[in-house]
Chains A and B, each alone.
Chain A
Amino acid sequence: MRKINTQTIEQNVYSMAMRAGVNLTASCKAALMNAEKAESGAAKFALQTLLQNCETASKNDMPVCQDTGMSVVILKIGQQVFLEGKPLIKAVNDGVRRAYADGYFRKSICDPVTRENTGDNTPAAVHTEITEGDAVEIIFMPKGFGSENMSRLFMLKPAQGVNGIIDAITQTVQLAGSRPCPPVYVGVGIGGSFDTCAYLAKKALTRDIGSFNKRADIAEIERAALEKINGLDIGCQGFHGKVTALGVACEWAHTHIAGLPVAVNIQCHCVRCEKVRI
């Protein structure tokens, strides 16, 4: 058994949030640079502006996007870990609260009905998984809602199969159009139940852009969907062009004989994701 104080979790969440608010992931930056080379006209202008924005953000230690998001935190906790100290979820929220104050990040979390802002960007959306071993892995992803709003969940018929999955992904991006800040990164959950399918889609977005699923048939869905999406001519900001998505990442789970759930979680071009293993 390994003892880890939740203070350590809090401190890590704090520094991950501080970094994530200001920097894009390396794979996102590289994908934007490639997109800039491929485009022309207004889409190229927009991509150049975005690349310049990355520099401005890092140089001035300013949030790369004002939507510093809802804090999505995934904790993979080894079953040999004993967590001591303050309650785990409280530790995560305390880390988020301090980072959003110290980083001058926007506080975007509110009551869903009264719309009253909590004022400190908490609570975070926390997921926990129990894994083998004695380590704790933390993934911190600030998720903007311009893109989150364009996400969809389908309960397809099993007969719709692979083509149905690819159509569901493409249709979601097409309906979103210029609204979610394309070029987007598309996270897809295939299978599971209604709830786990959506979580798979979110987890897919924590993968590096350009990575493929280990399963060849799933990777083929990723490639086929990306090609179809990039034929939609939406382009950066909806200004038309060849790059509407930077990537498609699918994660899968076993499902029921009667169903084929497909969740499509849209991420804007501002991919921010930090990973730490303790």
Chain B
Amino acid sequence: MKKINLPITKKDAESLKAGESVLISGVILTARDCAHKRIFEILDDGAPLPFKIKNAVIYYAGPCPAKPENASGSCGPTTSARMESFAPRLLDLGLSAVIGKGEMNDETIAAIIKNKAVYFAAIGGAGALYGKAIKSSECIAFPELLSEAVYKLEVEDFPAVVAYDCRGGSIY
């Protein structure tokens, strides 16, 4: 299986083909419904974000709390379609990839192609397995949102499938 070390360059993105299974290692940021709302409020105000979007990878997920002996609790993907009104603008700001589950709309697909980005589908429901692939977790923004906060995760061999590639290929 192809191994991907983050960050992803445009050249890396060009080499990925929809349908192929990959193992991702590196740093990703979680954000789901409420965090996206906050990110957009900050962007609309023209204020600086508490983290960098350029070259980042956003994982649509909200983890379970970690047991004291673990780096993370269960942490599988959530439905990406709920974030499709946010994804194109973030991709235009330099987001290199998104990870989630399920189809996204045409605007998102167009933004992936335009920005030479990639959409990885993680396996929805495999929360425990993904929790184990997380080596460290740190809340870096909006802690009051609890599981919906932004967590910086260091992942190792995180299994996913290339769902939309930058040439317009789709697994769906």
Contacts and interface: CB of A to CB of B under 8 A. Distances in A.
A117 B73 contact: no
A116 to B, nearest CB: 9
B73 A45 contact: no
Interface residues of B, number: 41
Counting chain A CB atoms within 10 Å of each CB, the highest count among B19, B81, B129 belongs to B129
Interface stretch (B4-12, B44-52, B57-65, B85-93): B57-65
B152 interface: no
Interface string A84-128: 000000000000000000001111100000010101000000000
A36 to B, nearest CB: 13
A264 interface: no
A62 interface: yes
Interface stretch (A160-168, A174-182, A189-197, A224-232): A174-182
A66 B75 contact: yes
Interface stretch (A52-60, A151-159, A209-217): A52-60
B125 A53 contact: yes
A34 interface: no
A108 B74 CA distance: 14
Contacts of A238: 102-103, 121, 171-172
Given A49-B129, A64-B128, A181-B125, A42 B171 contact: yes
A65 B147 CA distance: 14
Nearest to A150: B79
B146 A117 contact: yes
Which of B61, B63, B76, B146 counts the most A-chain CB atoms under 10 A from its CB?
B76
Contacts of A180: 79, 102
A50 interface: yes
Interface string B116-127: 000001011111
Nearest to B161: A42
Contacts of B70: 60, 62
Given A66-B62, A66-B73, 6 more contacts: A49-B126, A53-B128, A67-B76, A177-B103, A238-B121, A239-B171
Contact of A237 (B65, B66, B123, B129): B123
B135 interface: no
Given A60-B132, A146-B79, A269 B125 contact: yes
Interface of B: 19, 21, 33-34, 61-67, 70, 73-76, 78-79, 81, 101-103, 121, 123-132, 145-148, 159, 161, 171-172
Contact of A52 (B66, B67, B129): B129
A115 B147 CA distance: 13
Contact of B161 (A46, A57, A270): A46
A6 B164 CA distance: 52
A266 to B, nearest CB: 12
A247 interface: no
Contacts of B73: 62-63, 66, 104, 106
Q: Sorted from nearest, which 10 A-B pairs have the closest CB atoms? A: A57-B128, A53-B126, A66-B127, A179-B102, A181-B124, A66-B74, A178-B102, A63-B74, A53-B129, A62-B128
Given A42-B19, A62-B131, A177-B103, A106 B125 contact: no
Interface of A: 41-42, 45-46, 49-50, 52-53, 56-57, 60, 62-68, 104-108, 115, 117, 119, 146, 149, 177-181, 237-240, 268-270
A235 B130 CA distance: 21
Contact of A106 (B64, B67, B101): B64
Nearest to B121: A237
B76 to A, nearest CB: 5
Contacts of B61: 66
Nearest to B65: A104
Given A45-B21, A60-B128, A178-B101, A65 B123 contact: no
B145 to A, nearest CB: 8
29 contacts: A56-B129, A57-B74, A62-B73, A62-B74, A62-B127, A63-B64, A65-B125, A66-B73, A66-B127, A66-B130, A67-B62, A104-B65, A105-B65, A106-B63, A108-B62, A117-B147, A146-B102, A149-B79, A177-B172, A178-B101, A178-B102, A178-B172, A180-B79, A180-B102, A181-B102, A237-B121, A238-B103, A239-B161, A268-B125
